[in-house]
Amino acid sequence: IIPGLIRTETVNQYGEAEECPDMTPQGITAADDYILISAYCSEHKHNSVIYVLNKRSHLFVKVIVLPNRSHCGGLAYDPVCRNVWVATKNAEKGHGSISALKLSSLDAYNFTKARRPLSFDYVRELPQMKNNTFITYYGFEVYCGTYDQKKRQLNLYIYGVNPWTGWLDKNKMRSIHAKDFDFIGQYCQGIAISKEYILISASDGPRQESTISFFRQDKNYFASGKPERTIYLPPRLEQIYFDGSNTLLLLFESAAKVYRNQETEDIDRVLKCDVSLLRNSSRS
């Protein structure tokens, strides 16, 4: 069950502890013994949060109150350096950023006692991106992405992780700009990578089905601009995440207050899918 859809403990714009009824889930990742889900206040009155769930029991553990009101469209976890990455934005400068929390910081945090947000352990500005829409981690690299609707172009900025510091290596950055991705529509919501596939999730609102597009994992995976296969799912799919090579976690925002009862399905659960069965499903 996605926590916090009715109310969430956080702080308001004045830094006061307060319950928010408007949290909207956005990002998901698995981090050691946890499932982490990010959410933002659709009314922009409260700080964004990360919900911590026990990976085995699926029970709610606690809430992490973040130090700003970023959209938090994606989460990623580096299992080597044990850092949780969050897609953020520098609202004052109007460009994207990426921030990180050490898993040890997350473990030690208790909002009930602290009554204040948890500061990020690391923030990296991304002035080349108007917004950091989605992120993932794969092969000692962090992928930051956005979709330019006017150019119909997928923009990925890929940063190597310094193994000594655990943070992004300024000298190890590459980018991919793939055009003519008509199948994405207006909103690209997530990217997930395994040894075999690169998957892209997209959603165009309440009247449009969400999609997951499959690309083969090779050096020319975006060359054609066309996926090997596209799967259609209910509206408002957000981030997708590989938990192992053949297990995919799916997070929807349709059960959030701002969208509830607008679509045929209000999906208030994290869905866990067998990738091979999903790819070979008849609805595509």
Residue 263, pLDDT above cutoff 80: no
In angstroms and rounded to an integer, the radius of gyration of the C-alpha atoms of the chain is: 18
**Which of 29-38, 164-173, 208-217, 221-230 is modeled with the greatest confidence?**
29-38
Q: What is the pLDDT of residues 130-170, one digit of tens each?
A: 899 999 999 999 999 998 878 878 889 999 999 999 999 98
Residue 8, pLDDT above cutoff 90: yes
The reported pLDDT for the residue numbered 274 is: 96
What share of the chain in percent tops pLDDT 70? 92
| pLDDT band (50, 70, 90) for residue 216 | confident
Distance of CA 133 to the CA centre of its chain: 8
Q: Supply the mean pLDDT for the chain.
A: 91
Residue 196, pLDDT above cutoff 80: yes
Q: What is the pLDDT of residues 52-80, one digit of tens each?
A: 999 999 999 999 999 999 999 999 999 99
Which tokens in the block code for residue 125? 């500005």
CA distance linking residue 213 with residue 232, whole number of Å: 9
Q: Is 153 left (phi over 0), alpha (psi -120 to 50) or beta?
A: beta
Q: What is the pLDDT of residues 173-192, one digit of tens each?
A: 999 887 766 666 668 899 99
- Are the C-beta atoms of residues 7 and 17 closer than 8 Å to each other? no
- pTM comes to 0.95
> Which one is predicted more confidently, 263 or 174?
174
CATH of 8-279, one of 1.10.357, 2.120.10, 2.40.50, 1.20.950: 2.120.10
Q: How many CB atoms lie within 10 A of CB 108?
A: 10
Q: What is the pLDDT of residues 82-124, one digit of tens each?
A: 999 999 999 889 999 999 999 999 999 999 999 999 999 999 9
The reported pLDDT for the residue numbered 185 is: 62
* Phi, psi of 113, rounded to the nearest 5 degrees: -90, -45
The reported pLDDT for the residue numbered 160 is: 97
